Structure formats: structure tokens, C-alpha cells
Amino acid sequence: MLSAIDHIGVAVEDLDAALDLWCSTYNLAVSHRERVESQGVEAALLDVGISHIELLAPLGPDTAVGRFLQSRGPGIHHVAFRVSGIDTVLKDLAERGVELIDREPRRGIRESRVAFINPKSSGRVLVELVEPAEGH
């Protein structure tokens, strides 16, 4: 069902400062940067082998990441697993009683299709499923 850890999402206050920190400390390259309105974030992907670190800065205080920063401060926000056939995976999880935040996939970074699972169903870890677009 899950084919890889696609990325670890990290909430940050300042995207440029976080990019400087992560790129200079670990010598990582930025592969993509995008405003994802549907998630209320400006995001950047740093390549780590076949996986990524996804830095997330909120577009405003009244967004999911904005509220996360207010209550917990910067740090790990979610774990994203790569899947193929995300519709089928979501249907299967729902049938087994897993609480979904997104019952239908929505558009994620780089034209991917994504859905979030309620942390109550995964030991208080926010899990994202990602079906990458063709070619990514």
C-alpha cells in the first residue's frame, strides 16, 4: 500500500531562513518551491535521495500550519507516504474505520494528489498520502 516515505513535512516561521539553514547544514538542494493555496502554505522541497524534506511556511495565522506554529512552534508537522491508486487506498482505509481528514484527494505540491489521515488514527502522527503526478 505504501511504497516509500515521500517526505517529512516541517513547519517553519520563515521559509527563506529555513532554506538557508537546511541547505547549508546538510548540503541539500532545493528541487521545488510553490505556494499551495489549498493547504495555506508556501512550501519548498529539498531532495534527500528518493525522498524530500518539505519546508512549510503558513500563508497566514488562520491556516493549519499557522495554528500549528502558534500552539507547538516550529518542527516536524507530518509524515508523507507515497502511494499509487490513492482513491483505492482511501476507500480501503475508510472501510477499515480509519478516520480521514480528506475523504477525497486534493491537489498537493507539484500537481500531486494528496490526502491527510486524522492523527487520532495513527498514534497522534499526522500522516499524508501522496500520489505524485506523472514524471515525478
Question: Interface with Co ion by CB under 5 A: which residues?
Answer: 9, 54, 80, 128
Give me the least distance between CB of 78 and Co ion, in Å please: 6
Give me the least distance between CB of 7 and Co ion, in Å please: 6
Question: Which CB sits closer to Co ion, 55 or 93?
Answer: 55
Question: Which CB sits closer to Co ion, 81 or 121?
Answer: 81
- Are 25 and 48 in contact by the 8 Å Cβ rule? The answer is no
What gap in Å lies between CA 26 and CA 53, rounded to an integer?
11
Q: Which residues pair with 43 in a beta bridge?
A: 34, 56
Among 101, 122, 85, 119, which Cα is nearest to 39's?
A: 101
Give me the least distance between CB of 56 and Co ion, in Å please: 7
| Residue nearest Co ion, CB atom distance | 9
